[in-house]
Structures are given as C-alpha cells and as structure tokens.
Amino acid sequence: MIHPTAIVSDGAQLGEDCFVGPYVVIGGEVVLGAGVRVESHAVLDGRTRVGDETHIYPFASIGLAPQDLKYRGEPAETRIGARNQIREFVTIHRGTEGGGMLTAVGDDCLIMAQAHVAHDCLVGDRVIMANAATLAGHVSVASGANIGAYSGVHQFCRIGREAYVGGYSVVVKDALPFALTVGNHAKCYGLNKEGMRRRNYPRTTVAALHHAFHLLLASKLNTSQAVEAIRAEIKDSPETEELLNFIETSKRGVVK
C-alpha cells in the first residue's frame, strides 16, 4: 500500500506487503524488504537497504548524507536489518570513504525517538538505543548492548556485547562487554548482573565474570596485570576470554 501523497522514485524496490504512509519520500536506490512499514513523513534516500518487517516511524531520516565535512558524495551505503523498530525523528546516515563506505544496523533492534546513528557506525543485533542516544561516527556497538537515553558515544569507540550504558552518560573510551558503564565521563561499575540474569546465563559464567571484573576494577593491579591474573585464575569461560580480547584489542583504551 502506497499512499497517494508519498513520493517513491523510479528505481526504488519495494518488497511484498510494504506500507508507505502519507508524505513519505523514498529515493531511487532504496530497497525495502517484505513487510516493511514506513510511516508518514519519513525520508529514505541513497543506497539504502531495509530488511523484512522493519517498522520506520514518522519523521525518521535514513540513508542521507553524513554530517562529515570530508564527505564528497561517494556512493556509500546504509543497511538496516530485519524486524527493527526505528522510532520518530531517528537519523541514520550513510557511510563515508574514510570509514568503509557503510553504516549498518543488525536485526531486532529498538532505536527510540530522536536517537542518532552517524556515518560508518556498525550496530549489531538486539541493540536498544533509548531516546536521544547518540553515536558519533565510526562507533561499533556489539549485539545485545543497551545505550541509555541522552547518552553520547565518542567517535571510534566500541560498545561491547551486552554492555549497559546508563542514561546521560558520556563514553569516550571503549565500554566493556557485560558491564555497567555510567556517568559523565563514564565509569565502569562492574558486571551487569541483572542483564546476565535476564538472559539466563549459567551461574558459573556469572561467577567467572564477576571475579574477572573484581580483578580488573577493585584490585590494586593495573590493566595489564589484571589481564594476566584473570587468565591465570579463570579457565574455560568463553565470555571471560571475550572480555580479555576486547581489552587487548582496544585502540582508545577501555572505561574503568
């Protein structure tokens, strides 16, 4: 169903059972999967692909040129996965040549009203971005992460898997996976126990990660010493190994 006031450019591809509401504008290189619903006044442009059953709410803006003075009109892309909820006034900008030519959002995400995903961001699956949460350019957000309302993430930072970033936080380093990271500037307050419980992690996994965060944050060890201690004391824990790998591969440093 395409409302008569909508503008759908020649070349746009719409899958089966799509809904395009009043005053929507869809550019000629946009591809919508099956069952996509685009509500009134939303704008989709550029090389943008939206996965099946994603719901885009009024006044969202997806795939437009980035807010980057280095952008020179290169044919970068925006890819949105399946079953996402993209709420009112969300902005998601296309990538740039300097950042891989791609901005991507995975599947089953909830991006609440007024949130912003800047150029070249890579967002995983099941990510929640609360109202007005903002990702600067080149940010990566791993699957299952939760970013609170009015939080800002500095460019080139990483948010680890199933991390919880509290509302109104300012994140200028990498936020650790499985952790609570809150504040301006943000600090890490240890394991996100409630999130682990809700996702039914085994008690052994929770205990191993809790001990790892104790060594990392509450002992008198520096980061390198804590990593060595964690490896020595905790065995057979894939999640703990993931935490250590995240720390060791950080380019900006991690929030402690």
Q: What is the pLDDT of residues 182-222, one digit of tens each?
A: 999 999 999 999 999 999 999 999 999 999 999 999 999 99
Considering 68, 107, 108, 120, which one is annotated as catalytic?
120
CATH fold of 7-195 = UDP N-Acetylglucosamine Acyltransferase; domain 1 (2.160.10)
pLDDT classification of 25: cutoffs 50, 70, 90: very high
The torsion angle over the Cα atoms of residues 147, 150, 154 and 159, rounded to 10 degrees, is 0
Give percent of the chain with pLDDT exceeding 90.
100
- Would you call 63 a catalytic residue per the annotation? no
What pLDDT is recorded for position 7? 98
Angle at the Cα of 26 from the Cα atoms of 20 and 28, rounded to 5 degrees: 135
What pLDDT is recorded for position 110? 98
Considering 46, 106, 124, 137, which one is annotated as catalytic?
137
Of 208, 163, 219, residue with least CA distance to 188: 163
Separation of alpha carbons 91 and 115, rounded Å: 7
pLDDT classification of 250: cutoffs 50, 70, 90: very high
Each residue of 30-54: pLDDT tens digit? 999 999 999 999 999 999 999 999 9
What pLDDT is recorded for position 42? 98
Query: DSSP labels for 168-208?
Result: T-EE-SBBPTTEEEEETTEEEEEE-HHHHHHTT--HHHHHH
| Nearby residues of 231 by Cβ (< 8 Å), 6 or more positions away | 244
What is the average per-residue pLDDT within 134-139?
A: 98
- Predicted TM-score (pTM) of the model is 0.97
Separation of alpha carbons 135 and 172, rounded Å: 11
Residue extents of the structural domains in the chain: 7-195, 201-248
pLDDT classification of 76: cutoffs 50, 70, 90: very high
Of 74, 80, 94, residue with least CA distance to 49: 80
Give the helix/strand (H/E) hosting 77.
strand 77-80
Give the mean pLDDT of the chain: 97
Considering 41, 93, 116, 119, which one is annotated as catalytic?
119
Class for the domain spanning 201-248: mainly alpha
- Would you call 183 a catalytic residue per the annotation? no
Separation of alpha carbons 180 and 93, rounded Å: 28
- Would you call 68 a catalytic residue per the annotation? no
